[in-house]
Amino acid sequence: MPDALRAATDSLARSSDTARLDAELLMAHALGLSRGDMLMRQRDLGVPSDFAALIARRAAGEPVAHIIGTRDFWTITLAVTPDTLIPRPDSETLIEAAVDYFGAQGPQTVLDLGTGSGALLLAALAQWPQARGLGIDASAGALLVARGNAARLDLDARAEFRAGDWATGVEGVFDLLLINPPYIGVDEPLSGDVLREPASALFAGADGLDDYRRIAPDLPRLIAPGGMAAIEIGHRQGDSVGALVAAQGLNVAIRCDLAGLDRCVIATRT
Chain residues binding ligand SAM by CB under 6 A are 85, 87, 91, 114-117, 119-120, 136-139, 142, 164-166, 180-182, 200-201
Binding residues: 114-118, 137, 166, 180-183
Given the complex with ligand SAM, which of 8 and 85 has the nearer CB atom? Answer: 85
Q: How far is the CB of 242 from ligand SAM (least distance, A)?
A: 19
Min separation Cβ 114 and ligand SAM, Å: 3
From the list 126, 139, 134, 24, the residue with the least C-alpha distance to 78 is 126
Pairing of strands 159-163, 262-269: unpaired
Which residues does the annotation place in the binding site for substrate? 180-183
Between 101 and 166, CB nearer to ligand SAM:
166
Closest CA to 267 of 113, 73, 85, 162: 113
Q: Which is nearer to ligand SAM, 37 or 165 (CB)?
A: 165
| Contact assessment for residue 37 and residue 18, using Cβ atoms and an 8 Å cutoff | no
**Choice between 27 and 159, CB closer to ligand SAM:** 159
User: Least distance to ligand SAM from the beta carbon of 108, Å?
Assistant: 21
DSSP H or E segment with residue 78: strand 76-79
Q: What is the Cα gyration radius of the chain?
A: 20
Name, in order, each residue with C-beta under 8 angstroms of 205's C-beta and a sequence gap of 6 or more: 185, 186, 211
Query: Please, what is the minimum distance in Å from the beta carbon of residue 111 to ligand SAM?
Result: 12
